[in-house]
A and B are shown apart, each in its own frame.
Chain A
C-alpha cells in the first residue's frame, strides 16, 4: 500500500509569484485535505476535496485554490504569494469525505519559503 506523497519537498518563491503543490493520496482513499502549518503552530485547515469537488473550506482567502483529479490526486495553488504564506503545507488523505469520521493520513509536506 502506497502512502501519501507530496511534491516538491521544498520550494522558494518571491512575493507576488504563484505556486502549485501536488499530492498523491493513499491507495483507495477518495478524499484529500490540505493544511497549512506555520512554524511552531498546529496545522490549520485550508480545504478538502471529495470526489473532485470542494467539500469544505477553512478561513483562507480565495487566492488559495485547489483541484482534485479523477485518480484522487490533488493540487493546491496559491496566487499572489505573501511572506506569511511561508509554511509547511500538509496533504492528508482519507476515505469517505462529507463529514464521515475517517482517519486522515498525512504526507511529509512541502516546505514553502516566500522571500
Chain B
C-alpha cells in the first residue's frame, strides 16, 4: 500500500544550523511528493512539492529532491531561523487515488 515514513522528532537546532528531515515512501508507480508545515494552532500549509523523479521542490529556503532510486524526499534548509519552528509533514499523492498519505510529522524547534 501507500505509506510515508518520517524521521522521528523532536528536532532541536540552534539558529543558522543546517536542517535535514528524512522522509521515505512506499508506493507503486510515480506518486507526487509534498512537504507541508503546520505552525502552532494552525492548519497545514504547503511548503513544496515534486511531481516526478529527480524534481527538486523549493520554497522559503527549503529544498527537497524526489529520489526514486532511494524512494526518498528529504527536506533540507541551509540555515534555519526561529520562525521555522513548526511541525513538518511529508506526504504523497498517488494518481488514481483520492487522498494524501501523510507521515506522522517531525517537530522542529529552533532556539536563538
Q: Give the interface of A toward B (CB within 8 A).
A: 4, 6, 33, 35, 40-45, 48, 55-56, 58, 88, 90, 92, 97-101, 103-109
Shortest A77–chain B CB gap in Å is: 19
**Cα(A55)–Cα(B99), bound, Å:** 10
**Cα(A48)–Cα(B99), bound, Å:** 8
Contact of A90 among B43, B49, B93 (CB under 8 A): B43
Q: Give the interface of B toward A (CB within 8 A).
A: 4, 32, 34, 36, 42-46, 49, 51, 89, 91, 93, 95-105
Q: Are B95 and A101 in contact (CB under 8 A)?
A: yes
Tell me whether A42 and B89 are in contact in the complex, defined as CB-CB below 8 angstroms, given that A33-B98, A99-B96, A106-B36 are known contacts: yes
10 nearest CB pairs, A to B:
A56-B98, A42-B102, A45-B99, A106-B44, A108-B43, A99-B96, A106-B43, A109-B43, A48-B98, A42-B104
Shortest A13–chain B CB gap in Å is: 20
Tell me whether A101 and B43 are in contact in the complex, defined as CB-CB below 8 angstroms, given that A42-B89, A42-B102 are known contacts: no
**Cα(A103)–Cα(B102), bound, Å:** 14
A-B contacts at CB below 8 angstroms, number: 67
**Cα(A35)–Cα(B95), bound, Å:** 18
Centre residue among B93, B98, B102 by max chain A CB count within 10 A: B98
Q: Are B100 and A104 in contact (CB under 8 A)?
A: yes
Contact of B42 among A35, A43, A104, A108 (CB under 8 A): A108
Residues on the B chain within 8 Å of A6, using CB: 43
Extra inter-chain contacts (18) besides given A41-B105, A45-B101, A98-B98, CB under 8 Å:
A33-B100, A43-B44, A43-B102, A45-B100, A48-B98, A48-B99, A55-B98, A56-B98, A56-B99, A88-B43, A90-B43, A92-B100, A99-B97, A100-B95, A101-B95, A104-B93, A106-B36, A106-B44
Which chain A residue has the least Cβ–Cβ distance from B44? Answer: A106
Tell me whether A58 and B105 are in contact in the complex, defined as CB-CB below 8 angstroms, given that A43-B44, A90-B43, A108-B43 are known contacts: no
Q: Are A101 and B51 in contact (CB under 8 A)?
A: yes
Shortest B95–chain A CB gap in Å is: 5
Residues on the A chain within 8 Å of B99, using CB: 33, 35, 45, 48, 56, 58
